[in-house]
Chains A and B, each alone.
Chain A
Amino acid sequence: MHIQLNGEPYTLEAGLTAADLIDQLALTGRRVAVEINEEIVPRSQLATTPLAEDDQVEVVHAIGGG
């Protein structure tokens, strides 16, 4: 299955959830926020949110800025 992850093409197995993706990215337990198709996915719902073909996924974190 193909998705867009942080603006880049990304391939993963079908049937995975947003939490599975975060796990694959070794970001489980890190302070990140996830948006799918421009909608926030609350942390509590990552495990129950399935990913679909062509989903636009953003995974963001805090960085230095003014």
Chain B
Amino acid sequence: MTLQNDTPFTIAGRNFSSRLLVGTGKYKDFDETGAAIAESGAEIVTFAVRRTNLGQEAGPNLLDVISPSRYTLLPNTAGCYTAKDAVRTCRLARELLDGHNLVKLEVLGDETTLYPNVVETLKAAETLLADGFDVMVYTSDDPIVARALEAMGCCAIMPLGSLIGSGHGIQNPHNVRLIVEQSSVPVLVDAGIGTASDAAMAMELGCDGVLLNTAIAHAREPLRMARAMKSAVEAGRDAFLAGRMPRRQTADPSSPFAGRING
């Protein structure tokens, strides 16, 4: 008996073997960033676009650590609160990466929650798609909004598990499941993952992948948590494919009744 291989994980026509996507924020230094990301096995890595610090000695560049030749880079629009800013940021990112057009769109509502502003997100997605971008979109766990974003042409739907950086895991697994079941494009839980079991849960719900940052960067040992997340995503994916046993109200012995010495 042999196990069949999983189908490839495809984003915007590109195949990946890892279903774990990671961010590059909040690490102690670039050494830790590079080592943790290597340990996670992630192939898609997200980063932010910011003004250069003028008048300071230019230090090492993130893209020297996260090389575009080794990783598929996913510039994000973190920090944008309007569609206009998000679109500008994506165009700057495309220039920064010599025409690379895969982006993670996130348009935020306020600084307390960093909750997606779906009205601005929909506007930005429309402009970016018309401009030739492949848009992976961070959104609320609202199935109706998710369906609208997919219908527009977004290449991945990324509902939050809980608030960005909160580590509260997946607060509404039922909505995530609804989004998974209705979607024809990959669905990834993005935001809220706190530990390995949260990542496994996302995959067991049938998500195609998980995107996380703080859970690794703010673990006591980021490299070990990176490895834990890699295992969790693989385990959760296998558990989903294998199909869980039915739940029962009562016990069901695993050893046969027949042949007991007290029978």
* Interface residues, chain A, with chain B CB atoms under 8 Å away: 5-8, 25-27, 30-35, 38, 40, 42-43, 58-66
Interface size class of chain B, counting residues whose CB lies under 8 Å from the partner chain: 35 or more
Question: Do B46 and A66 touch (CB < 8 A)?
Answer: yes
Binding site for A on B (CB under 8 A): 22-27, 33, 46-52, 54, 58, 61-63, 73, 75-76, 78, 88, 91-96, 98, 164-165, 211-214, 217
A27 to B27, CA, bound (A): 25
Please state if B78 and A62 are interface contacts (CB–CB under 8 Å): no
Given contacts A31-B61, A38-B88, could you give 5 more A-B pairs where the C-beta distance is less than 8 Å? A60-B92, A61-B49, A61-B50, A62-B49, A66-B217
A41 to B29, CA, bound (A): 31
Q: Using Cβ atoms and an 8 Å threshold, which residues of chain B touch A25?
A: 52, 54
Between-chain CB contacts (< 8 Å), 15 pairs = A6-B52, A7-B51, A25-B52, A30-B58, A33-B92, A40-B95, A60-B92, A60-B96, A61-B49, A61-B61, A62-B62, A62-B63, A64-B48, A66-B23, A66-B25
Asked whether A60 and B49 contact (CB < 8 A) given A65-B23, A65-B78, A66-B26, the answer is yes
Which of B22, B24, B27 counts the most chain A CB atoms within 10 A? B24
